[in-house]
Amino acid sequence: MKTTIQFQKCSHTEESRIAALRTVLEKTKKPFKSGDSVGIKLHWGEKGNENFLPPVYAREIVRWLQAEGIKPFVVDTTVLYSGGRRNGCDSLNTAAQHGFTEKYLGCPVKIGDGLNGKSVIDLAAGFKHFETVQTGKIVEEADGFVIFSHFKGHMEAAFGGSIKNISMGLASRAQKQRMHADAKPELIKDSCLRCGECADVCPTGAAAILHNEYPTYDLEKCIGCAQCIALCPVSAIKIRWDTDINVFQEKLIETAAAIWKIISKKTVAVNALINIVTECDCLPGNHPQIAEDIGFLSAYHPVSADAESISLVGAAHIDQVHPGIPWRRQFEYAREIGFVDF
């Protein structure tokens, strides 16, 4: 379906936000039919994160779908790093703690790659970096999806929206690692407190600190999840890219494009441009806001949804918060491989 973008402004109040979302949904033609099982792919926030979209907005989407006899469910997948979402049971507990329960939402809450992260399938890709892409099996089990994304900053991609919600959000843990593999930690000694936080959060033991010395990083063990970089209290670790920094951007696009081939006929993207903060909802804490609340939009293609979101937020905000990250390569590469509808 060729993209028609629906947009509605809002203020910072919950009443205004909900009204804006309802307006966008009412104007959006559903690509589903009665009886379809439709996944609402969202991020219910890492344990300790204070910026995730609260479940009231997902509930609005649930009701929008149910009004037409559609059978919705809320879904996310397991992750690489330690925390509250590494396996399905922990992730469902985190979801419940954040209010994403079947009782509140009025629909089931599922893990797209299974409780142990092993319910996966391989998709043909045929791209420069990936011949195949591995994703949660939910991709072929669902009749369609609403990709519901909190638009915000991201330390590796510069921004996170619909593209990342599909690529990282529906990918298996193995595929997530393949995308992250080129990002490694590099210590800035002059800033390091030798507190040991990086070693505490490392899921593979690649980061270590002994006898109050500076931490060391075993890059052979490192899976590139960047949790040590994100959670360092004084930003004393930076990303050392083992390849061209553009590669990560291209891998995001290739993964999303391969998944999109499977789900595109019955999928709509909805971006929430509210509480627009510097970092992903994967990170604990309360992150600084980089722009005022703008509103909600829908589109029938993730690249169109994110391009319009950046236009509304302002590219300068993204560049200021995450300087040096070549996020524009995502859109350039999407055009190169035909992953666009404009």
242 falls in which pLDDT band (50, 70, 90)?
confident
Give me the mean pLDDT over the 138-167 stretch: 97
211 falls in which pLDDT band (50, 70, 90)?
confident
Confidence (pLDDT) at 1 = 52
Confidence (pLDDT) at 239 = 81
Confidence (pLDDT) at 226 = 76
State the angle between helix axes of 173-180 and 162-170 in degrees (0 to 180), rounded to the nearest 10.
120
Q: Residue 171 above 70 pLDDT?
A: yes
Residues of the chain with CATH 3.40.50.11440: 6-177+245-336
Give me the mean pLDDT over the 67-76 stretch: 98
State the angle between helix axes of 328-336 and 302-313 in degrees (0 to 180), rounded to the nearest 10.
150
158-162, 200-204, 237-241: range with lowest mean pLDDT: 237-241
145 falls in which pLDDT band (50, 70, 90)?
very high
Architecture of domain 183-241: 2-Layer Sandwich (3.30)
Nearest to 157 by CA among 130, 181, 177, 180: 180
Q: How far apart are CA 170 and CA 136, in angstroms?
A: 6
Cβ-Cβ contacts under 8 Å for 99 (sequence gap 6 or more)? 54, 55
pLDDT digits (tens, 9 = 90+) for 86-97: 899 999 999 999
Give me the mean pLDDT over the 130-148 stretch: 97
Residues of the chain with CATH 3.30.70.20: 183-241
Query: What kind of fold does domain 6-177+245-336 have according to CATH?
Result: Rossmann fold (3.40.50)
CB 44 within 8 A of CB 52: yes
Q: What's the mean pLDDT when you consider all of the chain?
A: 94
Alpha helices (H) in 31-161, listed in sequence order? 55-66, 88-97, 102-105, 138-141
238 falls in which pLDDT band (50, 70, 90)?
confident
Question: Could you give the C-alpha distances from 201 to 83, 87, 115, 198, in angstroms and in order?
Answer: 8, 16, 22, 5
Q: How far apart are CA 124 and CA 132, in angstroms?
A: 5
pLDDT digits (tens, 9 = 90+) for 92-124: 999 999 999 999 999 999 999 999 999 999 999
240 falls in which pLDDT band (50, 70, 90)?
confident
181 falls in which pLDDT band (50, 70, 90)?
confident
Q: Is 87 helix (H, G, I), strand (E, B) or coil?
A: coil
Confidence (pLDDT) at 2 = 59
Q: Residue 40 above 60 pLDDT?
A: yes
Q: Classify strands 158-160 and 152-154 as parallel, antiparallel or unpaired.
A: antiparallel
Instruction: Give phi and psi for 281, each to the nearest 5.
Output: -70, 0
Confidence (pLDDT) at 165 = 98
81 falls in which pLDDT band (50, 70, 90)?
confident
Question: Could you give the C-alpha distances from 37 to 43, 53, 65, 69, in angstroms and in order?
Answer: 19, 23, 10, 10
Query: Pick the residue with more confidence: 255 or 4?
Result: 255
